[in-house]
Amino acid sequence: MNILLLGVQGSGKGTQAKRIADEYGLAHVSTGDMLRGAVAEGTELGRRVQPILERGELVPDELMIELIRERLGAEDTAPGFVLDGFPRTTPQAQALDTMLAEIDRPLSVVFELQVPDDVATERLQRRAELEGRTDDTPEAIRKRIDLYHQQTEPLVAHYRLAGNLVGIHGGRSENEVFAEIQQALDQVPSR
């Protein structure tokens, strides 16, 4: 099974992606985690993207597309993957469509975790207090939510047209959201 999660930061996307990956034995592919890892390790990529992450802006498409192409070629994605944080723009989605068609690994389902902006903002502010993520400043939070609406939300229509979009009400508890995701996954034909 190959799964894609869409949703604004603070929608619970990362948490749900991890749970799905654990439960179904899939690789969790989080571009945010990959980039934060690169920053923490101080690699060249990390040095390049650090200021972008801190401002809450988007890393250039070409860089992200290469990163994902490499990641999806790794052995652990063979049973399937849960994509979390990619694609975030139309060029990224188009590149992903082409990439997955080439390797004959289509997306089984695309979940859109829907939460109102005020709920997402509140959750991100709470996370800022708990974890002190450097991109959880009020300005960066606002920027990321704006960018989600401008750049990423149009992808919902793209996947709705492709016919595999499932909307999930993400404002509930983690367990309730996961139960709904599981119900939807039970309907996905295995191939």
Q: How far apart are CA 65 and CA 93, in angstroms?
A: 9
What would the DSSP string read from start to end of 54-73? HHT-PPPHHHHHHHHHHHHT
Q: How far apart are CA 189 and CA 191, in angstroms?
A: 6
58 counts as binding ligand AMP under rule CB under 6 A: yes
Please work out the total of residues on this chain that contact ligand AMP, with binding judged by CB under 6 A: 18
64 counts as binding ligand AMP under rule CB under 6 A: yes
Among 19, 28, 88, 123, binds ligand AMP (CB under 6 A): 88
Residue 2 CA, chain-centre distance (Å), reads: 13
Q: Which is nearer to ligand AMP, 86 or 178 (CB)?
A: 86
123 counts as binding ligand AMP under rule CB under 6 A: no
83 counts as binding ligand AMP under rule CB under 6 A: no
Q: How far apart are CA 172 and CA 12, in angstroms?
A: 10
155 counts as binding ligand AMP under rule CB under 6 A: no
Catalytic residues: 13, 88, 127, 133, 144
